[in-house]
Structure 1
Amino acid sequence: MKRITMNGCLFALAVTAAASAQTMSLVPRGGTGNSIAVAPCATVTIDVYAQGIAPDLLRAYQATLPLTATGGASGSVGHDGAVPMINSGHPDYVFAALTASGTGSVDGLPLVVNALQFAGDSVSVTTSMYLGEFQYEVSTNASGSFTIDAVDPGTNPSVNDSFLVDRFDQPIAFTTIPAQITACNDLDVCTWDVPAGSSCTNTPNAYGDVNHTGIPVDIFDILCVLDGFAGVYTTCPCLDTDIAGCPGGDGIIDIFDILAVLDAFAGVSACSCPG
């Protein structure tokens, strides 16, 4: 029997699985379906949704996500430290207008959202309905495709960390749809990598032209790298200011990037980029 602590209250759920075919879907906000392409240093919000829970009625759920995504060619996508949350004001919140018993964590798992209704308030979930959200950060040197999936999904709440439960306290069988995050970084300082929906474009770029206004490299490119050194990426993304170290930078915005853009300002192309 699984024990769930929510707002200081302890609940127990039975463990006999009910036959069903439902989904728990991880959707990157701003992406296309379950996929998104982003620049390094980006913050990605993963919204968790349930769908197709009918004729069963949903009474409780728990979604547990990993601290770090799998995959990728380099770098990482990891939890950014923000506490996972359930936005009860979300227009598609599954328990909207009802009195949920609360949210919380279980068994010391760090990235958890869960909620439990009174049995009489269980709901039918035919369309995609929101369960909660998690935030991840893409590292400076991230490249390739990363996957985030629910941790240990299953129909036995006594052992599984992600589950759905019906109004009779019976676990609901479901499948998970993971989130795919593509870090737009081809590891080449001679290109301008731009995310577009769930894909990336890689356009040839002159060395040191970090704000992509064209050559010659000017004071505004230098200011962009100085901003990057200070951790400010409002004008230029972090990837574009990481130009020291051929062919793809070194994943750190430091004094060598400042020296590199000063060299480019003087007409020196350290990585033999076109232009």
Structure 2
Amino acid sequence: MDLGLAGSAAVVTGGSKGMGLAVAETLAAEGARVAVMARGRDALAAAERALRAAGAPDAVGISVDMTDADSISGGFAEVAERWGAINSLVHTIGPGDGYFEELDDAQWDEAFALGTMSGVRSIRAALPMLRSADWARIVTLSAHSIQRQNPRIVAYTASKAALSSVTKNLSKSPAKDGILVNCVCPGTIVTASFTENLREVLAADGLDATNPEDVMTWIDRHFHQPCDLGRAGLPEEIASITTYLASHRNGYVTGATINVDGGSDFV
């Protein structure tokens, strides 16, 4: 299926690793020029190499602090100077976790700065470039926990719920310009950071944090939240639907909040 991405320009925030990098690589493989934004310069350099290998020879990594409004504006100004217009913005940034009793005001503020305001600021900075393009799409990544609560990630979930609401509401404003806006809600996804953070925790249960079946076994055992497919997801499974929504091929899906979670009961 031709997604109509050849020669287009895309920005992926949080695109240096995990789901963001998977999305960026898929966009590159479809022929898009890709800029990724993240804070770590070493990870950005590695992402640039990966994107060039995937099919985006002019891929660029831009160091941006997504908690800082001026840094975000500066990152998008660099994109504007380089390309002028962009067709696709994919926003994948999210905060860390923590139980309610563990979080002070500063940690709540940081969660919303990363989980909500980074998206608001990125979209605001990108909109002039999106409006200058022949066609444009915006996709944000929220989380299935906004519908299926988990006390371990209370601030994360609250900030992602706000982002999902902003995305839904925003879809109405630029519709007249032909800009489609959607939100993807990943379930439990086995990324490198997930594995790194929970390797020892799962190992204590005799489970492998790199194995999707073992990961879902742990989720079910400790949080009683299994999924119908019986396994966690992979970054490329988020990338495929996100890339479609961010593509010219998507001509009629807007204002949607789409679960990609292996099947879960939200009742």
Q: TM-score, normalised by structure 1?
A: 0.26
Query: Which of these two proteins has the greater Rg computed from alpha carbons?
Result: 1
Normalized per residue, which structure has more helix? 2
Normalized per residue, which structure has more strand? 1
Higher relative CO (Cα under 8 Å, sequence separation at least 6) belongs to 1
